[in-house]
Amino acid sequence: MKTIFYHRGRGGHRGYSEGSIFTHASDTDRLNVRQKKCGDFFSFLFLSSASSVVKNVMNLLLCLFLLSSCYYRAPLLDSEELSEKTKDSLTYLYERHYTWDTNLEVVDDSIALERLPIKDTFIQLNKGDKVVVAEFAIHPADSVDSVWVKLAHTQDEQGWIREVDLKRSFVPTDSISQAIHLFSDTHASYFVVIFALFVGVYLLRAFRKKQLQMVYFNDIDSIYPLFLCLLMAFSATIYESMQVFVPETWEHFYFNPTLSPFTVPFILSVFLFSIWLFLIVALAVLDDLFRQLTPAAAIFYLLGLMSCCIFCYFFFILMTHIYIGYLFLIFFILVFTKKVYRNIGYKYRCGHCGEKLKEKGICPYCGAINE
């Protein structure tokens, strides 16, 4: 009869002995196992560190792309075919955002141009007068603004003005630039806000008394009105972000506007895409609105929708200026996503009243049986 003995080995492992026969792993085997484990561990550390480095590099490249895509590209002036005047004009366009022969219009009640080098002689321009940029000059000794611009109203009426005064008192003659100026004008903004508040309060009272339909509250059967408000909030956030972080990009666009989102920096492209999408969704809102409501109810709904869009515009501009508008925008996106998800859950419509149903059966609105 053979007896098997159990006893502990060096590493705390259980060994077996049958007579004088032991089944312990040799020190060499244990060393090989430990070396393999250490090798696997260091390989894991190397792969983890390599993955971390790759992620950091990708994030850095993404940040560089986003930053570089927020600015206009500098003009290429290496071509020998370009004349010196053309090179100077392109340089002024890139640095000052406008150049020779840029057409401007007076927006102040009146403005005076100095007839330099003759001192104390001025040319008076009135609101609506148009001028053209004729020349640039640098006066380093001027403590107010070293850049002076010569403007020509007629062949005989030409004078100089500081660039800071020019940007405050003149606007480009392009219709897009003038629309931007009108929309961003302080007095116009106050008027629009007061009008929106008045209409909003009036509609809120009417909503409580007559249960009028409004955006999000007792809304129509469509996601487009809330999507329109979200697009307005998104556009306002992008607009104010440019004002805060890359004002030079917006100023260049202001003097050289375009409606094409394919010829501008990335951030402006996103802004223009949101504007175009806003117009398309607005048409979809009108289509849904006049199909579901009477003309009178649709007009009241449109007034409320306009008030909501105006409120979103100014609210997100103010909040983005203090860097918390992005949090409100994320919350708005979550609210919109929740509504979209809720609408997707309705797969059927009642054949009698037309209301949405999640499943076939008895309609909870009119009691009709749908099979």
Provide the pLDDT confidence category of residue 350 given band limits of 50, 70 and 90: confident
> Is residue 278 scored above 90 in pLDDT?
yes
> Is residue 45 scored above 50 in pLDDT?
no
> Is residue 225 scored above 80 in pLDDT?
yes
Q: How high is the pLDDT of residue 353? A: 72
Higher pLDDT, 178 or 41: 178
> Is residue 95 scored above 80 in pLDDT?
no
Q: Look up the pTM and report it.
A: 0.72
Asked if 30 contacts 13 with a C-beta cutoff of 8 angstroms, the reply is no
Provide the pLDDT confidence category of residue 69 given band limits of 50, 70 and 90: low
Whole-number Cα distances in Å, 21 to 9, 86, 181 = 14, 98, 97
Burial label, 141 (beta-carbon count in 10 A; 0-12, 13-18, 19+): exposed
130-138 and 147-152 beta bridge pairing: antiparallel
Q: How high is the pLDDT of residue 268? A: 94
Q: How high is the pLDDT of residue 11? A: 43
DSSP letters, 99-155, are -TT-EEEE-SSEEEEE-TTSTT-EEEEETT-EEEEEEEEE-TT-SS-SEEEEEESSS
Q: How high is the pLDDT of residue 13? A: 44
- Kindly state the average pLDDT of the residues 95-105: 86
Q: Which of 79, 97, 77, 73 is nearest to 88 (CA)?
A: 77
> Is residue 159 scored above 80 in pLDDT?
yes
Q: How high is the pLDDT of residue 5? A: 41
Provide the pLDDT confidence category of residue 121 given band limits of 50, 70 and 90: confident
> Is residue 44 scored above 70 in pLDDT?
no
Using CA atoms, how far apart are residues 200 and 206, in angstroms rounded to an integer?
Answer: 10
- Kindly state the average pLDDT of the residues 165-177: 93
- Kindly state the average pLDDT of the residues 304-317: 89
Using CA atoms, how far apart are residues 134 and 151, in angstroms rounded to an integer?
Answer: 5
Q: How high is the pLDDT of residue 371? A: 73
Q: How high is the pLDDT of residue 345? A: 62
- Kindly state the average pLDDT of the residues 26-42: 51
Looking at every residue in the chain, the average pLDDT score rounds to 77
Q: How high is the pLDDT of residue 156? A: 87
Whole-number Cα distances in Å, 322 to 72, 188, 244, 318 = 26, 22, 10, 7
Q: How high is the pLDDT of residue 59? A: 53
Q: How high is the pLDDT of residue 19? A: 42
Q: Which of 106, 96, 152 is nearest to 129 (CA)?
A: 106
How far, rounded to the nearest angstrom, does the alpha carbon of residue 328 sit from its chain's CA centroid? Answer: 13
> Is residue 31 scored above 80 in pLDDT?
no
> Is residue 196 scored above 50 in pLDDT?
yes
- Kindly state the average pLDDT of the residues 274-299: 91
Using CA atoms, how far apart are residues 159 and 115, in angstroms rounded to an integer?
Answer: 5
7 — alpha (psi -120 to 50), left (phi > 0) or beta?
A: beta
Q: How high is the pLDDT of residue 342? A: 78
Using CA atoms, how far apart are residues 276 and 265, in angstroms rounded to an integer?
Answer: 16
Q: Which of 367, 222, 181 is nearest to 305 (CA)?
A: 222
Task: Starting at the earlier edge strand, list the strands of the sheet with 158-162.
Answer: 122-126, 110-114, 158-162, 147-152, 130-138, 103-106, 170-172
Q: How high is the pLDDT of residue 214? A: 72
SS (H, E, C) 222-290: CCHHHHHHHHHHHHHHHHHHHHHHCHHHHHHHHHCCCCCCCCCCHHHHHHHHHHHHHHHHHHHHHHHHH
> Is residue 129 scored above 80 in pLDDT?
yes
> Is residue 134 scored above 50 in pLDDT?
yes
- Kindly state the average pLDDT of the residues 124-151: 90
